[in-house]
Amino acid sequence: MINLWITLITIVLAGNSVTAAPSLTVVGGSVAPRDPSGYFTIQSVKFVGSTVFSQDQLQAVAQPFFNRQLEAADIEELRYRLTKLYVDNGYINSGALFLGYDNHIKQLQFKLIEGKLEQINVTNTPHLPSNYIAKRVQ
């Protein structure tokens, strides 16, 4: 007779889902001036909500995008790189959300959403105590 033990681990995460389509949202009212080719430039990036990485670390990711012609796909690429920074450092439920573009100071704005492990529920563990498994998952 084969005994089959199934352990179900449910991890409840606090935070928001980060799935934003790239679009150019203008902060401050006016439409971003674009040259005839449809590109725009940025001089800075503002990050809101980061507690894991310093502003210097985040600016280093954004630096290649400064003072060059950008389009919506470039914003998505920067958002992806910011999210990848979190994932590559073990923060798999965190990422970047594009908030908009401030035309007056040529600044992109991103909200950094840092998910938190809120609760771990372990059920059906006949051989190991539930709290032992929960501590290992944390």
State residue 132 phi and psi, 5-degree precision.
-65, -45
Residue 18 has pLDDT above 50, yes or no: no
The domains of the chain, with CATH numbers, are 16-116 (3.10.20.310)
pLDDT in tens, 76-129: 999 999 999 999 999 989 999 999 999 899 999 999 999 887 777 777 777 777
**Predicted local distance difference test score (pLDDT) of residue 75:** 95
pLDDT band, residue 35 (cuts 50/70/90): low
| CA dist., res. 38 & res. 43, Å (int) | 17
Residue 15 has pLDDT above 80, yes or no: no
Instruction: Tell me if 12 sits within 8 A of 118, measured CB to CB.
Output: yes
* pTM confidence score: 0.65
